[in-house]
């Protein structure tokens, strides 16, 4: 059989979407501890078949790695391996867009069209369960995350573009606050015991400017003061989570490290150095607080043992995709994930095994919402997820508003998390 090689994976990958998985499980060895393979920028440059196949074995739940395999398979004329990859994607609910659906049969010249059609899902299911909870004025700009402070029922939204936060109590107007000298404000968590609102300040908008404080900014409501805990030089913190003892963990999606601090720390300390994960983003703690889950946008979910520092990989007993995750939170025995690295984007809940090291169940909570632009981060509020539904990264270029794309009001949505 001959494969047409004039059009490669760029065509195949365009317009791909996901729907809930319908395949039978393909479990990893249940007794095995899945170790995390260290990845960095060079890992993303692997192009050869042998190297990518090994990467797929190391990260068996990464859709990104499987898609990267298509181009070298096509170039090598490996028709059966292309079909196997398409079947892998099909089994995990992947749907290719209109153009790739027309091009794939042409690329697989000589292959029975029926075999190809069996591996291509026509379209994704739209799932809409959230409601608009609040909407900010357009002056908020690039809203990134949101929490609700239950003490005074105040919503607080972070703004990357304005280096600020915006708050509103029920029935009142929005007001803004810009910490002096802050960089882009993105992640936000609340230390309810000490009543400190922690903000992540870092350079994440792609601008050339390196001005502004990088690290954690704590707004201490007990005495109306600020706490500043610097990150190591060159580190830009974005996503945050907080432990019951008040330890704040932050990820650097650009540099690749994980960092932590307490309210009385002089500086953030390194938990995981760069070079272990490529783009760590969402963070969530296990129910016993002994394990920190971190989503690597390209490769999956890492599980860091807090006592030993050992980095493991969250395995799965079912055929699912665990990369493309931005926000990550724990809700009971599930990890709730905003997968805006899939198309269409979705919010899913992954049920964990008793030891917390395997995914044993999967729920798609929301998917391809007709009012979404790009779902971003947020926080668990009771039995719901509050999140930004219309991310506006496309309206800003290197920290500046894009031409002919004015900022829109930021839409805050509430999504029920309880099982039906």
For the cut 60, the answer to whether the pLDDT of residue 133 exceeds it is yes
- Give per-residue burial for 31-67: e unless 16+ CB within 10 Å, then b: eeebebeebeeebeebeebeebeebbebbbbbbbbbb
For the cut 80, the answer to whether the pLDDT of residue 124 exceeds it is yes
- CATH code, 399: 2.120.10.30
Mean pLDDT of the chain: 91
Q: Could you list the residue range(s) of the whole structural domain that residue 213 is in?
A: 131-416
Q: Report the pLDDT value the prediction gives residue 12, as an integer from 0 to 100.
A: 47
Verify that 69 and 148 share a domain, yes or no. no
CB 326, CB 340: distance < 8 Å: yes
Please identify which residue in the block is written with the tokens 């026509």: 122
Structurally, the chain folds into a number of domains equal to 2
Q: State the Cα–Cα distance between residues 8 and 42, nearest whole angstrom.
A: 22
For the cut 90, the answer to whether the pLDDT of residue 62 exceeds it is yes
Compute the average pLDDT of residues 68-83: 95
- pLDDT, tens only, 97-121: 888 888 889 999 899 999 999 998 8
Q: Report the pLDDT value the prediction gives residue 170, as an integer from 0 to 100.
A: 86
Compute the average pLDDT of residues 395-411: 93
Verify that 108 and 225 share a domain, yes or no. no
Verify that 45 and 99 share a domain, yes or no. yes
Verify that 333 and 196 share a domain, yes or no. yes
* Burial class for 154, CB neighbours closer than 10 Å (0-12, 13-18, 19+): middle
Q: Report the pLDDT value the prediction gives residue 29, as an integer from 0 to 100.
A: 56
Q: State the Cα–Cα distance between residues 238 and 311, nearest whole angstrom.
A: 20
Q: Which helix (H) or strand (E) holds 115?
A: helix 113-117
CB 134, CB 410: distance < 8 Å: no
pTM of the model: 0.92
Verify that 176 and 59 share a domain, yes or no. no
Please identify which residue in the block is written with the tokens 């402070």: 149
Verify that 147 and 264 share a domain, yes or no. yes
CB 351, CB 333: distance < 8 Å: yes
Compute the average pLDDT of residues 363-371: 95
Verify that 207 and 263 share a domain, yes or no. yes
- pLDDT, tens only, 303-348: 999 999 999 999 999 999 999 999 999 999 999 999 999 877 899 9
Q: Report the pLDDT value the prediction gives residue 2, as an integer from 0 to 100.
A: 39
- The residue among 412 and 92 whose pLDDT is bigger is 412
Verify that 109 and 225 share a domain, yes or no. no
- pLDDT, tens only, 258-271: 999 999 999 999 99
* Burial class for 254, CB neighbours closer than 10 Å (0-12, 13-18, 19+): middle
Verify that 248 and 386 share a domain, yes or no. yes
Verify that 241 and 191 share a domain, yes or no. yes
Verify that 92 and 201 share a domain, yes or no. no
Domain boundary residue, one of 117, 145, 161: 117
């Amino acid at each position: 059989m001959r494969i047409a090689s004039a059009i490669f994976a760029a065509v195949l990958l365009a317009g791909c979407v996901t729907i809930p998985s319908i395949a039978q499980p393909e479990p990893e060895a249940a007794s095995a501890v899945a170790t995390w393979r260290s990845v960095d920028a060079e890992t993303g440059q692997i192009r050869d078949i042998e190297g990518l196949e090994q990467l797929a074995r190391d990260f068996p739940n990464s859709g990104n790695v499987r898609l990267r395999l298509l181009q070298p398979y096509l170039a090598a004329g490996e028709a059966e391996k292309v079909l196997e990859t398409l079947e892998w994607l099909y089994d995990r609910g992947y749907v290719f867009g209109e153009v790739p659906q027309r091009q794939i049969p042409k690329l697989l010249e000589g292959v029975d069209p029926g075999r190809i059609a069996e591996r291509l899902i026509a379209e994704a299911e739209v799932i809409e369960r959230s409601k608009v909870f609040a909407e900010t004025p357009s002056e908020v700009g690039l809203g990134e995350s949101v929490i609700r402070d239950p003490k005074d029922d105040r919503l607080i939204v972070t703004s990357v573009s304005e280096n600020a936060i915006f708050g509103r109590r029920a029935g009142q107007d929005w007001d803004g606050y810009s910490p002096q000298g802050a960089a882009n404000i993105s992640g936000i968590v609340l230390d309810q015991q000490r009543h400190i609102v922690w903000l992540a300040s870092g350079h994440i908008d792609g601008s050339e400017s390196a001005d502004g404080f990088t690290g954690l900014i704590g707004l201490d409501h007990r005495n109306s003061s600020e706490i500043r805990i610097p990150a190591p030089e060159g580190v830009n913190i974005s996503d945050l989570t907080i432990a019951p003892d008040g330890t704040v963990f932050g990820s650097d999606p650009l540099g690749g490290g994980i960092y932590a601090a307490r309210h009385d720390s002089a500086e953030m300390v390194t938990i995981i150095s760069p070079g272990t994960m490529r783009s760590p983003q969402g963070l969530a703690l296990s129910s016993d607080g002994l394990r920190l889950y971190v989503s690597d946008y390209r490769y999956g979910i890492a599980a860091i043992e807090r006592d030993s520092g050992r980095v493991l990989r969250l395995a799965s007993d079912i055929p699912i995709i665990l990369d493309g995750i931005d926000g990550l939170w724990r809700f009971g025995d599930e990890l709730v994930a905003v997968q805006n690295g899939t198309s269409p984007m979705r919010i899913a809940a992954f049920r964990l095994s008793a030891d917390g090291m395997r995914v044993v169940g999967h729920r798609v909570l929301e998917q391809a919402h007709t009012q979404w632009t790009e779902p971003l981060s947020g926080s668990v509020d009771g039995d719901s997820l509050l999140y930004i539904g219309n991310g506006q990264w496309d309206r800003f270029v290197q920290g500046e508003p894009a031409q002919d794309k004015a900022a829109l009001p930021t839409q805050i949505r509430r999504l029920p998390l309880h099982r039906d």
